[in-house]
Amino acid sequence: MGMLDEIAKSVTEGVDDGIGFAIIDIESGLLLGAHHTIPQLTQTFLEIFAAAAVDMFRGRNVSNVEQLLREQLGSVSNTSFIREIQVTTDKAFLFFSILPNKPSTLAVLVTGRRANLGFGWSAVRQAIPQIEPFVP
């Protein structure tokens, strides 16, 4: 198990109703590290999940909207506007956060609905300094 997988496991186990944690390279879509508590999930599912997460932050439509905003605001910066996203489903909370010092890396925590939202965000933000030394 690699260091990023160990961090993912620690975050998952450290959150009430934790289901999984993933570290994704949003430039390539590669899953850099992950841990989850659902035995039925396949590697293919995790790779599709990573691709969907990349689309949420760097998809064509998102990029087009950001470019239009840059033009409207007169901004020359090419940095993305979206830094964090929270998604709620019938059975889960998902916390997505771009690493501040590694903007091509995304951390994702998935919890059940019994989890406290504040603790979920806290777990993601506390994991970021642990992750950053291990990503390019």
Nearest to 136, CA basis, from 108, 85, 102: 102
Q: Which two tokens stand for residue 87?
A: 């998604």
- Tell me how many degrees the CA angle 112-121-43 measures, rounded to the nearest 5: 55
Could you say which of 3.30.450.30, 3.40.50.720, 3.40.50.2300, 3.40.50.2020 is the CATH number of the domain covering 3-134?
Answer: 3.30.450.30
Residue 1, pLDDT score? 64
The letter for the amino acid at 47 is E
How many angstroms separate the CA atoms of 53 and 40, rounded? 20
Q: For residue range 49-94, what is the model confidence (pLDDT) as tens digits?
A: 999 999 988 888 877 887 887 788 777 676 677 889 999 999 999 9
Domain spans of the chain? 3-134
Structure tokens at 29: 């879509």
Predicted pLDDT of residue 80: 73
Mean pLDDT, residues 98-109:
95
pTM over 0.85? The answer is yes
| DSSP secondary structure string for all residues of 71-102 | HHHT----S-S--EEEEE-SSEEEEEEEETTE
Q: Answer whether 110's CB lies under 8 Å from 20's CB.
A: yes
